[in-house]
């Protein structure tokens, strides 16, 4: 059966890393004999500045009705300071496809990437589930007396029982599925006594259904401290949209930097979106220096979502070997460019890895 994947390079280094991800996907399809159809969409800041297009309804419909997954590079461009196009495309996909699980593995794949003195690479192995359809990201709010000395800006934080419960439940289900024994929930119910009271109450209720799992509540500020002090204490972490955004950048620092952080925006069983966490990195654009390994790991997550068992582990092993043997970009210890790193991964796949 042919898998149909929408590909959106986006802005900055997005198209460069996605090109490597696509090479990897095509090589795998070729070697394994999978049918693969890629739909490339030119949706980015350049396009928006040229003709005002952000995220056309036809594209949204094609993705929702015909595609199995989306591979996205990055969105964000200094020429569009209000991020208009980025919000339409990224949030259009996250909210439009109801991709409520933002799955962000924090794994340190090699000792050379480990920034903490007393720990080994294998001590960093955490799966973060970031709620991805609610919270402060719903974009509801407004200004009062804008531009005056009395101005007020309101940004609402949405937490629905349904939204909170389904992400917490997925964290427990993932723990059960993957043999993990600990789930921690990070919130801030000491300050956000309405929205996050719902989180803690719901967490305690759902936890009762998983008696074999050890549960822990941690205020998010403390979690930032604990993650750096001793990352071994966490296995699965579930949190709200904004805190998940922040925690996973901190997490990226524990895995070798943003160039190593992969993510999936997932609705279990439905078309989902896969993107490296790093963003568009405008200063690196066009120089062949961006690290494509987060995208390779992201392709692994995409393949797991499509049901290709074992492929993610193989790609992860290849990325580890790329780091070990220096077949990677400078900031992770190698001396290759973006394209040559992708070429090396493809060579390994073609020679049987
Ligand atoms: C991320 C990014 C986005 C987010 C930005 C680009 C809106 O930082 O995917 O982590 O905050 O979700
Ligand atoms: Mn982020």
- Name the segment(s) of the chain with CATH classification 3.40.718.10: 1-101+263-353, 125-253
CB neighbourhood size of 282 (10 A): 16
Token pair recorded at residue 240: 């709200």
- Mean per-residue pLDDT, 8-17: 98
Query: What number does the ligand 1 atom closest to the CA of 241 have?
Result: 12
Considering only CA atoms, which residue is closest to atom 11 of ligand 1? 245
3-state secondary structure (DSSP) of residue 246: helix
CB neighbourhood size of 149 (10 A): 5
Given a cut of 90, whether residue 353 has pLDDT beyond it is no
pLDDT of residue 72: 98
Q: What's the CATH fold of domain 1-101+263-353?
A: Isopropylmalate Dehydrogenase (3.40.718)
Token pair recorded at residue 141: 């709010």
Does 245 participate in catalysis according to the annotation? yes
State the DSSP H helix or E strand holding residue 107, giving kind and residue range, or none if neither.
Answer: strand 101-107
What does the pLDDT look like over 299-323, one tens digit per residue?
Answer: 999 999 999 999 999 999 999 999 9
Query: What number does the ligand 1 atom closest to the CA of 102 have?
Result: 9
3-state secondary structure (DSSP) of residue 128: strand
- Give the separation between CA 231 and CA 228, rounded to whole angstroms: 6
Considering only CA atoms, which residue is closest to atom 7 of ligand 1? 87
pLDDT of residue 116: 98
* Residue entry with tokens 């043997």: 325
Task: Give the N- to C-terminal CA distance of the chain in Å, as an integer.
Answer: 23
Spacing, Cα 42 to ligand 1 middle (Å):
20
Given a cut of 90, whether residue 178 has pLDDT beyond it is yes
Q: Which ligand is nearest the CA of 265, by number?
A: 1
- Mean per-residue pLDDT, 328-332: 97
Residue 229 phi/psi, 5-degree rounding, is: -70, -40
Token pair recorded at residue 236: 């699965």
Q: Check if the beta carbon of residue 27 is closer than 8 Å to that of residue 350.
A: yes
Site to substitute for ligand 1 among 11, 94, 105, 279, most atoms within 8 A of C-beta? 279
What does the pLDDT look like over 200-255, one tens digit per residue?
Answer: 999 999 999 999 999 999 999 999 999 999 999 999 999 999 999 999 999 999 99
Considering only CA atoms, which residue is closest to atom 4 of ligand 1? 245
Considering only CA atoms, which residue is closest to atom 12 of ligand 1? 245
What are the start-end ranges of the E strands in 78-192?
A: 101-107, 125-131, 141-144, 152-155, 182-187
| DSSP character string of 77-107 | -TTSTT-HHHIIIIIHHHHHTT--EEEEEEE
Spacing, Cα 353 to ligand 2 middle (Å):
32
pLDDT of residue 1: 81
- Mean per-residue pLDDT, 27-38: 97
CB neighbourhood size of 65 (10 A): 8
Angle at 17 between CA 16 and CA 19, to 5 degrees: 70
Does 188 participate in catalysis according to the annotation? yes
Query: Among residues 221, 230, 270, 287, which one is catalytic?
Result: 221
Query: What number does the ligand 1 atom closest to the CA of 263 have?
Result: 9
Spacing, Cα 274 to ligand 2 middle (Å):
14
Spacing, Cα 188 to ligand 1 middle (Å):
20
Query: What number does the ligand 1 atom closest to the CA of 94 have?
Result: 12
Spacing, Cα 19 to ligand 2 middle (Å):
22
Query: What number does the ligand 1 atom closest to the CA of 75 have?
Result: 6
Residues enclosing ligand 1, CB less than 6 A? Answer: 76, 86, 245, 277
Considering only CA atoms, which residue is closest to atom 9 of ligand 1? 277
**At 12, is the pLDDT very low, low, confident or very high (cuts 50, 70, 90)?**
very high
Q: Which of 275, 300, 292 is nearest to 337 (CA)?
A: 292
Query: Among residues 46, 123, 125, 249, which one is catalytic?
Result: 249
**At 340, is the pLDDT very low, low, confident or very high (cuts 50, 70, 90)?**
very high
pLDDT of residue 80: 96
pLDDT of residue 160: 98
* Residue entry with tokens 């690290």: 291
Average pLDDT in the chain: 97
Q: Check if the beta carbon of residue 59 is closer than 8 Å to that of residue 90.
A: no
- Give the separation between CA 54 and CA 72, rounded to whole angstroms: 14
What does the pLDDT look like over 123-158, one tens digit per residue?
Answer: 999 999 999 999 999 999 999 999 999 999 999 999
Task: State the angle between helix axes of 161-178 and 195-207 in degrees (0 to 180), rounded to the nearest 10.
Answer: 40
Tell me the CATH architecture of domain 125-253: 3-Layer(aba) Sandwich (3.40)
Spacing, Cα 247 to ligand 2 middle (Å):
9
CA distances (Å), origin 273, targets 106, 253, 284, 349: 18, 23, 24, 24
What does the pLDDT look like over 152-175, one tens digit per residue?
Answer: 999 999 999 999 999 999 999 999
* Residue entry with tokens 């989306």: 70
């Amino acid at each position: 059966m042919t898998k149909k994947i929408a590909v959106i390079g986006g802005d900055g280094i997005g198209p460069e890393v996605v090109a490597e991800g696509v090479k990897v996907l095509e090589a795998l399809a070729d070697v394994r004999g999978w049918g693969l159809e890629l739909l490339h969409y030119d949706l980015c800041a350049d396009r928006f500045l040229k003709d005002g297009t952000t995220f056309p309804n036809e594209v949204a419909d094609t993705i929702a009705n015909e595609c199995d997954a989306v591979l996205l590079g990055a969105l964000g461009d200094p020429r569009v300071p209000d991020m208009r196009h980025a919000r339409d495309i990224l949030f259009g996909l996250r909210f439009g496809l109801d991709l409520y699980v933002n799955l962000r593995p924090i794994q340190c794949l090699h000792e050379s990437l480990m920034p903490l003195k007393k720990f080994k690479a294998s001590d960093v192995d955490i799966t973060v589930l970031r709620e991805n359809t609610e919270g402060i990201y719903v974009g509801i709010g407004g200004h009062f007396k804008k531009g005056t000395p009395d101005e007020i800006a309101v940004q609402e934080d949405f937490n629905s029982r349904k939204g909170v419960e389904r992400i917490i439940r997925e964290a427990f289900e993932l723990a059960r599925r993957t043999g993990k024994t600990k789930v921690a929930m990070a919130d801030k119910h000491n300050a956000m006594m309405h929205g996050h009271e719902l989180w803690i109450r719901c967490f305690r209720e759902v936890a009762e259904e998983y008696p074999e799992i050890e549960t822990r509540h941690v205020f998010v500020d403390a979690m930032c401290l604990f993650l750096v002090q001793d990352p071994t204490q966490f296995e699965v972490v579930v949190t709200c949209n904004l805190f998940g955004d922040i925690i996973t950048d901190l997490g990226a620092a524990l895995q070798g930097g943003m160039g190593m952080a992969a993510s999936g925006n997932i609705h279990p069983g439905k078309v989902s979106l896969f993107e490296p966490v790093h963003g568009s990195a405008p200063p690196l654009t066009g120089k062949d220096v961006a690290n494509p390994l987060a995208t390779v790991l992201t392709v692994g997550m995409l393949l797991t979502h499509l049901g290709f068992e074992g492929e993610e582990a193989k790609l992860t092993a290849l990325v580890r070997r790329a780091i070990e043997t220096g077949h990677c970009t400078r900031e992770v210890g190698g001396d290759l460019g973006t394209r040559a790193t992708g070429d090396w991964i493809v060579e390994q796949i073609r020679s049987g890895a």
